[in-house]
Amino acid sequence: MAQLHRLNYQHLLYFWAVVRAGSIARACEDLHLSAPAISAQLKTLEARLGQKLLVKSGRTLVATEAGQLVYSYADEIFGLGRDLLSALEQRPTHRPLRFTVGVDDVVPKEIVERLLEPALKLGRPVRLTCKEGTLDRLVADLAIHESDLVLSDAAMSSAFNFRVYNHYLGSSEVCWMAKTAMANRLRRGFPKSLDGVSVLLPTADTAIRRALDQWADRHGIHPVVVAEFEDYALLRAFARAGHGVAPVPVVLEEQFHRQYDLLRVGLAHTVQTEFYAISVERKVKHPAVAAIVEHARQIFAA
């Protein structure tokens, strides 16, 4: 353990440069060093930390899970170094607050934009980075501090071997929407009118899909699923093009009508879509996360 206190930051710089460049050869050009010299220093760093930091993926070097954690700290360290040089050159900088958010694919991007808006209005510079993916992958990134927050339509279960906390943001009823002609036709006799009709749905592994399937079963409805989507933005694009009826959180109904020319067919009674902010903090301390959680109440109350 004592060795960790004598970390060589020059070795860390070489590692950081290799990850950024994707190969030792390209890092050599940036650092003006030979490949054998950098390779030797990387081996020394791995031995010092007792962790494998890099592996080959085709022709590219990528960070291991431990390497990703080391890289995230290195990025912060060398970011501070750049700010220090700027300050010494009498060009003071207001270093932006770095805020990385993982967004579950199934969450509508229009809701994401509303939720993240207050993070950009903190009264100090913020550098926002958004990553999209499946909930499992995003929470794994959260665990190794690659992200500060994950936005999802489902709470994270305790199945993972690390602790995360679910912060409930709010919920919205769900309605079915379609292009004008289709919506007007299907309103008559809803919900039975959806029987045999083309619908666009999120994939079966999502909370909202399971709720919609149960709703259809209760009403004895068997719509034709013409497409399933992991990404809600793609689902919305297909609905806008008239390929079928789509489920939309009521909180977005007015916006979808105005921007995408969709009309409500009917309300999926009892179906609620929920939204959560998932973090490694039990008590929210990050100022951007705190602003999001507070502002969410206004979004869903409206």
Q: How far is 178 from 263, CA to CA, in rounded Å? A: 6
Task: Give the residue among 256, 261, 258, 233 at the shortest CA–CA distance from 107.
Answer: 233
- DSSP class of 95: P
- Kindly report the average pLDDT of the chain as a whole number: 87
In the structure, what pLDDT confidence band is assigned to residue 3 with cuts at 50, 70 and 90?
Answer: very low
- DSSP class of 284: -
Q: Please state which of the ranges 53-62, 123-132, 194-203, 211-220 shows the lowest mean pLDDT.
A: 53-62
Structural domain of 74: 2-88
pLDDT cut 90: percent of the chain above it: 48
In single-letter form, the type of residue at position 207 comes to A
Q: Is the pTM of this model over 0.85?
A: no
For residues 82 and 121, membership in a common domain is answered with: no
Q: How far is 218 from 216, CA to CA, in rounded Å? A: 5
For residues 11 and 41, membership in a common domain is answered with: yes
For residues 75 and 134, membership in a common domain is answered with: no
Query: Which CATH number characterizes residue 291's domain?
Result: 3.40.190.10
Q: Note the pLDDT tens digit of each residue in 267-290.
A: 999 999 999 999 887 777 788 888
Split into its structural domains, the chain has a count of 3
For residues 157 and 282, membership in a common domain is answered with: yes
For residues 245 and 177, membership in a common domain is answered with: yes
Q: Note the pLDDT tens digit of each residue in 25-54.
A: 888 877 778 888 888 889 999 888 888 999
Q: Looking at the predicted structure, is the pLDDT value of residue 160 above 60?
A: no
For residues 54 and 182, membership in a common domain is answered with: no
For residues 42 and 191, membership in a common domain is answered with: no
Query: Which CATH number characterizes residue 13's domain?
Result: 1.10.10.10
Q: Looking at the predicted structure, is the pLDDT value of residue 94 above 80?
A: no
CA-CA distances (angstroms) from residue 218 to 113, 191, 212, 221, 222? 34, 11, 10, 8, 11
pLDDT given at position 1: 39
Q: Note the pLDDT tens digit of each residue in 103-129.
A: 999 999 999 999 999 999 988 888 899
CA-CA distances (angstroms) from residue 257 to 9, 111, 183, 232, 248? 55, 15, 12, 16, 11
Q: Looking at the predicted structure, is the pLDDT value of residue 2 above 50?
A: no
pLDDT given at position 80: 77
